[in-house]
Chains A and B, each alone.
Chain A
Amino acid sequence: MTLHPIIAALRKHKAGVVLISLQIALTLAIVCNAIFIIGQRIERINRPTGLDESNLFMVGQQWVNVPSGDDPAGVEKLDSMLKEDLVALRGLPDVAAAAPINSLPLLNNSWNGSLALKPGTEVKKEGNTRSTYYFGDEQTLSTLGLHLVAGRAFNAGDVQHHGFRDQSAPAGVIVTQAIADKMFPQHDAVGKPIYVDGSTTPSTIVGVVERMQVPSTGSWANDFAWNSTLEPVRLNANFSRYVLRAKPGRLQAAMHSIPSTLYAVNPLRVLDDDSVKSYADIRAEAYRADVGMAILMGVVCLILLAVTAAGIVGLTSFWVGQRQRQIGVRRALGARKVDILHYFQLENLLIAGGGAVVGLLLALGLNRLLMQHFEMQRLPVIYVLLGIVLVLLLGQCAVFVPARRASNVPPVTATRSV
């Protein structure tokens, strides 16, 4: 079959053809970008934090009417209270492990700074490695289920304690592989000195963990999402956080036993609805916006594709109705049913193809606009190609019903006058 008669016929319906191609082009442009956004969000959500998240939960609490932790006596008092809590939590039958910690990956509450190879630099100085800090004791690493790839974990002798706002540099730290690779690309990082937050005294890297995400999920933290430093320090303040691992299958029971246990140790404290939180809830909360955006984009894509498919069905049906006589004439002159079917399928392929070419340009343009204003990344070509295949298939599916109706027009129609 030659294209010539199809093109000639299309030229008779210029406006209709232009409108339907435009619609296909816009659909392609939006669907490509929307699917790209969905893909990116799914990728973000699926990033492993580096923790063993099952059976993990967090407890946060605040003591009432306690020393500020700004003077040595206050710090000692707060530290003994913290240790009392830990003893009680570790003694619970459903708890496998418990440890103090200041924050957790995805918690969006962080203490950030920078690591340097030289002493006494400014924190924001160019070339320093940005990092988040986690403070915990010798059991924090194992409680979190972090994977140590070099060096050693902290032992009880490493662990210090000091006031929440006291920023003295620890003797030893554990860093993530990401930091080790950035600061010591050529060498083994274990045993090397680094300077924490512009400190003048060095801290030695005693161990390297494979991966540990920072608490912040905001876009400002994307640059250092895997740069975490663990310090062997119990932070003493009027509040404390603990990370706990329940025994398998006992998560709910373990979480349920926390408030009464802690109140029994010391009733003068604040525990509210948010105080005991499973890690699954922390994760869900952190990525709620991303899940929501993905769902929203998915709904928009579905509506778009449905509307465009319906538009193709509607317009083709109209053309079929309009060309009843011509179809009859073709059939009378010997065209088979399948020829008529192919005619409309090919016609749709031409229209959708034209729309797809324009749509490709629009998709890239829209992507550029989103990149300029909304921190989007460049749309990979594969998404555009997938989108093109999608709209061409959509067109073929949509055109099938009216095209088959056209192929069923009997040859005798040709002999009837209107």
Chain B
Amino acid sequence: MLTYYLDLALRSLKRSPGLTALMVLAIGFGVAASMTTYSVFRAVSGDPIPWKSSKLFVPQIDMWGPNGRDSDGEPPDAMDYLDATTMMRAHRAKLQSAMYQISPSVVPTEAGKHPINVSGHAVYSEFFPMLDVPFLYGNGWSAADDVQRAAVVAISSKLNEKLFGGANSVGKSINIEGKDYRVVGVLNNWNPQPRFFDVVNSGGFSTGVEDVFMPFERAIDVGIPNDGNTNCNAVPAESGFIGLQHSPCVWISYMAELDDAAAVATYRQYLDGYARDQQQAGRFAWPANNRLRDLPEWLDNQHVVPSDTKVSLLVALGLLVVCLVNTAGLLLAKFLRRSSEIGVRRALGAQRTAIYAQFLTEAGIIGLAGGVLGLLLTGVGVASVSWVLPKDIAALARLDFSLLALTLLVAIVATLLAGLYPTFRASRVQPAWQLKSN
């Protein structure tokens, strides 16, 4: 029976090639525009660590008080040195790490090569197990290295390629800011997007790679300065990087792993208790105003998904709706033009369901053709976003099987939906009336 309907549909579509082409084009463009913007949206709104994001938390402490809050009453989105190091010492979460962005220079051992600049973070040893950082060679450093402020470093596979030709460099040393550091691990192409562990500084997405990770307290000791944002509510009393550490300026990010609701509740209590202690000690002249958000909430709070991306998706979906309304109108005209044919079929005993099957088959074929066109146009669209959108975001939009399958599915389902009303009208055609008028 289906082959019969397919045959009927193809005949009908061939009879009015202009109208058919119009519908296919509309569906194709509508679906392609939506899918292209969706590919960008999907790329930037994805969970960078889906298996663990609900267990990762970002605490915020209100160390500035009412005069330092934003209009929404939020405490600062980073920490000062005192709070970050105190919380690291208290060690109340299963795993935790304070971190700050660094940008030291590395001097290649080969003579005649110019020094290079690398970016990275000063972190604690628990950073690596907490974020499930994959290692190609070796591992992170130990808690003992943290305490001893050991001269150790974990490097990216890219830097390993540049300095050691990609060989296992564990145990070898590299020169960072004039001092030798022993490589303990080489990361295995770790470049999560968004750069979720320090969104305050990355702003979300980054085209660069994190090349070096070194122990936090080591970096402080040797005075590798903060390369990320520094926010101050008052001018530090002392100058220099030491002055920054003694000041209430915020420049340190913090992340903690809390595995269940009980752990989260306990940690909240700890934070509130900490703020109360500070209040009693006279450092805070205001009640506790802490925040503890899990990673998805935190990414949302920091507006990691650019609003341009959301607006584009919304507008493109609007375009798809217009294309569907357009298709519905044209299908209606096309189906009702064949009222006499329907009348004859009905008079010869065809059931309403048969009429439904026939016309929905026709709509489905248009949807399929529109979907195939949409596939091509989506390919063109995704390829062209790279020269239209900012590089850090455009680099993430990819064409993959699931996007292609979704394109085809959306095209067919949408066209069938658009065809529902016209088909309903076609099935209501009165056979007697049609036969009489002929």
Contacts and interface: CB of A to CB of B under 8 A. Distances in A.
Interface in B285-320: 306-308, 310-312, 314-316, 318-319
Contacts of A373: 307, 310
B223 interface: yes
Contacts of B68: 122, 124
A165 B235 CA distance: 10
B67 A307 contact: no
A122 B328 contact: no
B438 interface: yes
A315 B336 CA distance: 12
A310 B223 contact: no
Given A311-B330, A314-B333, A315-B330, A297 B233 contact: no
Contact of B30 (A198, A263, A268, A307): A307
A125 B69 CA distance: 10
Interface string A55-97: 0000000101100111100000000000000000000000000
A34 B318 CA distance: 11
A33 interface: yes
A367 B283 CA distance: 46
Contacts of B308: 289, 292-293
Nearest to B226: A165
A270 B388 contact: no
| Majority SS at the chain B contact face | helix
Interface stretch (A1-9, A12-20, A174-182): A12-20
B19 interface: yes
A137 interface: no
B431 interface: no
Given A26-B321, A308-B322, A311-B329, A272 B315 contact: no
A267 interface: yes
Interface residues of A, number: 75
B315 A165 contact: no
Contacts of B29: 303, 306-307
Interface stretch (B140-148, B240-248, B352-360): B240-248
B177 A167 contact: no
Contact of B240 (A69, A308, A315): A69
B266 interface: no
A62 B225 CA distance: 13
B100 to A, nearest CB: 14
Interface string B15-54: 0001100100110011001000100000000000000000
Contacts of A295: 388
A16 B234 CA distance: 67
Contacts of B405: none
B438 A418 contact: yes
Contacts of B82: none
Given A300-B316, A303-B33, A23 B390 contact: no
B326 interface: yes
B325 interface: yes
A296 interface: yes
Interface in A284-334: 288-289, 291-293, 295-297, 299-300, 303-304, 306-308, 310-311, 313-315, 317-319, 321-322
Interface of A: 15-16, 19-20, 22-23, 26-27, 29-30, 33-34, 37, 62, 64-65, 68-71, 113, 122-125, 162-163, 165-168, 197-199, 237-238, 263, 267-272, 288-289, 291-293, 295-297, 299-300, 303-304, 306-308, 310-311, 313-315, 317-319, 321-322, 366, 370, 373-376, 418
